[in-house]
Structure 1
Amino acid sequence: MTRRAAYAAVGSLVVGLLSVLPASPAAAATGQISGLAGKCVDVAGASSANGTAVQLYDCNGTGAQQWNVGSDGTIRALGKCLDVTGNSTADGAVLQLWDCTGGANQRWVVTAARDIVSIAADKCVDVTGNNSANGTRLQIWTCTGAANQKWSAPATGGDPSPGGFVVSEAQFNEMFPGRNPFYTYSGLTAALGAYPAFAKTGGDTVQRQEAAAFLANVNHETGGLVHVVEQNTANYPHYCDWGQPYGCPAGQAAYYGRGPIQLSWNFNYKAAGDALGIDLLNNPWLVQNDAAVAWKTALWYWNTQSGPGSMTPHNAMVNQRGFGETIRSINGSLECDGRNPAQVQSRVDAYQRFVSILGTTPGANLYC
């Protein structure tokens, strides 16, 4: 998967947790949260006492079902916060109402895919036992995508993901369930600052489509974020172009494919390193040892290189030229125009799955 030869010159969610919450969250929306069988998230007995159970109940419009969903990550009713009992992150930990403390167990992400995810546990609000009876207790559980974890909640207009990234950690984990632990979500979000236009250009749909397109191509290049380095070690000595004036100071076999886009060749390590302010020519191993550096090299290619295509993948998405043009820019000389339709289809399948997870549409021109 290391086609960059032809292109010369080419863990845990970080959220601004507050030690003290404001009296009422800014950028919030209030209303019912409905889910399984059309029933609502409800405070038992409309009681505001600490420890009151949060349950499923027929929607009735009372104050016990009016939830204030804030862009600060809190979800409140009756002046108190939705809380995971005992600060637990275990499957089956039940939800309750409690004084707002600013704790991570009171912080939530409402995703475009209609999950409500606990930031502390990276688990979803879940109806216990898939039971739609009135009074069924709500809990956190590993996100499964099942109907008993899907909710319609008021839109906040805010996004508690790091830097406003359109992909939450829960969605990232859903995309890459078998990923190598090296490829951390925190590494990705730490890298975003290197290219601030990425997944931040255009409207919400375009931003989500670009993030999905990038991750779909990354998925294909790494076998689902499994491979950190190129698997065919026999190729390693091939990626040194001695015609470059700087040569191969790290060694003849040091510039093999690494990272989410499988960066390879000495001239690409030199160009990426120069752009990022990192000496990758002399220390290419940073790409396989530092998750943030690895992600930065992938974003460097995505945002600045056109490869065998006519535009960068970033421009292809923000100018609505379609996902197919990103394939052309990454590996068009080997896959596009009928050269390898199975590989193209693999990328398209991942893209369609990822846009679904992000709650948007794929747009036109999926193929190259």
Structure 2
Amino acid sequence: MVIKRVLAGLAALIAGGTMAVTAGGPAVASQAPAVSPSASFIVSEAQFNQMFPNRNAFYTYSGLTAALDAYPGFTNTGSEEVKKQEAAAFLANVSHETGGLVYIVEQNTGNYPHYCDATQPYGCPAGTAAYYGRGPIQLSWNFNYKAAGDALGIDLLHNPNLVQNDAAVSWKTGLWYWNTQTGPGTMTPHDAMVNQRGFGETIRSINGSIECNGGNPGQVQSRVDLYQKFTSVLGVGPGGNLSC
């Protein structure tokens, strides 16, 4: 079943907070590819620090590189240009979602009780208010924690706090969404970049139901601006189809 990602009541950063990945139905429980040795990340630590000068110390470069083996095709598919564009696209969306990698958890605590879909057979074993947004793409809802955990081989349904306490796990959940979920779009963000469909398609897959087709042009432009900034840091052109 294709995930339909909506941002319930969080169309922008609220009270200095961050947005949260939410969904109207269970995510596709894609399994992570078999682990294989990852090549060095196409973004250097110095470039990462340049992109995120005010980042929270939780979001470590080493945590990100430790997570790469979960999805070896990420930033490792296609030409050097495509690899850099995918890295810039992922990090730009992540930056937008977390206020520049500042926020680890969703800031609007009033939303916390709303992310438990009790109709799921496994329920909400960590508590009905335990599945709020966490991590670089702000994973939310019990069914997303279940699907991401199943794919990664980590019991996130019972231990959702791992996403805010373990940097590698946190990054892996972001990579899970990026590489396996289509959201309200028609393709995963990874496929959008490696097939050169453009940065705009990644926005559609992450929050298109709220932001695209004129829904929130300011938020779209924020993502585009970050993408162009990060491609500049990596010394690569942004390509076409930047907006949605």
TM-score range, shorter chain: 0.7 to 0.9
Deviation at 1:3, TM superposition (A): 3.8
Matched residue type, 1:6:
G
Distance 1:231 1:331 in 2: 18
Which structure features the higher share of strand residues? 1
Deviation per residue, 1:266-304 (Å, 9 max, x gap): 000000000000000000000000000000000000000
Give unmatched runs, 5+ long, in structure 1: 11-161
Deviation at 1:165, TM superposition (A): 1.1
- Residue of structure 1 in register with 2:241 after alignment: 365
Deviation per residue, 1:232-264 (Å, 9 max, x gap): 000000000001000000000000000000000
Deviation per residue, 1:198-218 (Å, 9 max, x gap): 000000000000000000000
Distance 2:25 2:117 in 1: 12
Q: Structure 2 matches for 1:4-15, cutoff 5 A?
A: 4-6=22-24, 8-10=26-28
- Residue of structure 2 in register with 1:243 after alignment: 119
Distance 2:107 2:71 in 1: 29
Q: Structure 2 matches for 1:48-127, cutoff 5 A?
A: none
Distance 1:175 1:338, change over 3 A: same
Deviation per residue, 1:77-118 (Å, 9 max, x gap): xxxxxxxxxxxxxxxxxxxxxxxxxxxxxxxxxxxxxxxxxx
- Residue of structure 1 in register with 2:86 after alignment: 210
3-state secondary structure, aligned to 1:164:
coil
C-alpha contact 1:7 1:308 (8 A) present in aligned 2? no
C-alpha contact 2:21 2:133 (8 A) present in aligned 1? no
1:283 aligns with 2:162: no
Deviation at 1:333, TM superposition (A): 0.4
3-state secondary structure, aligned to 1:188:
helix
Would you say how many aligned residue pairs link Structure 1 and Structure 2? 217
Give unmatched runs, 5+ long, in structure 2: 1-18, 29-37
1:309 aligns with 2:181: no
Which residue, out of 126, 131, 138, partners 1:262? 138
1:330 aligns with 2:206: yes
Distance 2:164 2:183 in 1: 22
Output the TM-score relative to the length of structure 2. 0.88
- Residue of structure 1 in register with 2:20 after alignment: 2
C-alpha contact 1:195 1:303 (8 A) present in aligned 2? yes
Deviation per residue, 1:22-57 (Å, 9 max, x gap): xxxxxxxxxxxxxxxxxxxxxxxxxxxxxxxxxxxx
Output the TM-score relative to the length of structure 1. 0.58
3-state secondary structure, aligned to 1:309:
coil
Matched residue type, 1:2:
A
3-state secondary structure, aligned to 1:201:
coil
Distance 1:228 1:273 in 2: 18
- Residue of structure 2 in register with 1:355 after alignment: 231
C-alpha contact 2:178 2:189 (8 A) present in aligned 1? yes
Deviation at 1:163, TM superposition (A): 2.7
Deviation at 1:7, TM superposition (A): 5.0
1:224 aligns with 2:100: yes
Percent sequence identity over matched residues? 78
Matched residue type, 2:229:
R
Distance 1:313 1:7, change over 3 A: farther
- Residue of structure 1 in register with 2:58 after alignment: 182
Deviation per residue, 1:330-349 (Å, 9 max, x gap): 00000000000000000000
Matched residue type, 2:98:
T
- Residue of structure 2 in register with 1:200 after alignment: 76
Larger radius of gyration: 1
4+ residue stretches of structure 1 with deviation over 6 A? none
Which structure features the higher share of helix residues? 2
C-alpha contact 1:172 1:185 (8 A) present in aligned 2? yes
Distance 2:125 2:23 in 1: 18
RMSD, aligned CA: 0.9
- Residue of structure 2 in register with 1:35 after alignment: none
Distance 2:162 2:113 in 1: 18
Deviation per residue, 1:124-153 (Å, 9 max, x gap): xxxxxxxxxxxxxxxxxxxxxxxxxxxxxx
1:167 aligns with 2:31: no
Distance 2:44 2:154 in 1: 28
- Residue of structure 2 in register with 1:344 after alignment: 220
